[in-house]
Structure 1
């Protein structure tokens, strides 16, 4: 698998995130920082998340995408668009309940915005744990399937302050 990267662009209030390769926890700090930038932008009109070149995406990254959708809906009443032509990715998104919080389409309209790499960010172990916990709680709130899939991880992370058994 190709090492994951996330690219971004903004043009006339449309924010684009493009996930490439194997998108994992290591990109979560940069993704979360960019999500905050998007939802705080005064000229924010729409969001497109392009998964056409995503080989794999972990649950923490999916949880952060759920966060983006929830914040977008709360702030401007807008469901972001997820783009993926791949059947395996569509099955994953549907199993997570993403059809409830995203417009999912097989192809994107081109943008003239030039994509740039999200800059890496360093987090402490506690910050990473907090981010993973938040992402998985958001996924658990989407449906019972997610609740059952992530309850053990969330419980373990919640108890991590008491011990290091996770």
Structure 2
């Protein structure tokens, strides 16, 4: 299984996250920590998530992206931008209702060489489970299709 990574930069009031390869649960603690860092700053003008090099993205990561959008709208009134040039990723985003909570564009992000890898974070199984549960609850809140798709998973996680 090939791995993925998430890179991060702050450039002139714009926070940029770049997802590379297969972005999965193992990166979610670092992503969630970065989301918290972004919203503790509150001195930015844009958030851009670059998915142009993303081969696959799991539902937990999608839930955290939805969380980022919801926080952005609540705290600073901004709609984040997703950059995607992969038709499969674009279809996935649209099927999850992301076109309602993000600006989705296909323009590349400037200054890709400014990005640095997010540090890995070791979390307990309970903390990871709580992050997975939160992410999927957020996805379920976006639309009825997501509610149906993730209901059983959320129920199982709530029981564990």
- TM-score range (shorter-chain normalised) is over 0.9
- SS of the residue corresponding to residue 6 of structure 1 reads strand
State the partner residue of 1:39: 39
Is residue 10 from structure 1 mapped to residue 16 from structure 2 by the alignment? no
- SS of the residue corresponding to residue 108 of structure 1 reads coil
What is the deviation of 1:107?
1.5
What is the TM-score with the length of structure 2 in the denominator? 0.97
Stretches of structure 1 that go unaligned for 5 or more consecutive residues are: 161-166
Residues 19 and 54 of structure 1 are in contact (CA less than 8 Å); yes or no, is this contact kept in structure 2? yes
Count of aligned residue pairs for this structure pair: 160
What is the deviation of 1:2?
3.4
> What is the root-mean-square deviation in Å for CA atoms of aligned residues?
1.2
Structure with the higher fraction of residues in helix conformation: 2
Q: How does 1:36-75 map to 2 (within 5 A)?
A: 36-75=36-75
Stretches of structure 2 that go unaligned for 5 or more consecutive residues are: none
Residues 11 and 113 of structure 1 are in contact (CA less than 8 Å); yes or no, is this contact kept in structure 2? no
What is the TM-score with the length of structure 1 in the denominator? 0.93
Q: Deviating runs (4+, > 6 A) in structure 1?
A: none
State the partner residue of 2:88: 88
State the partner residue of 2:28: 28
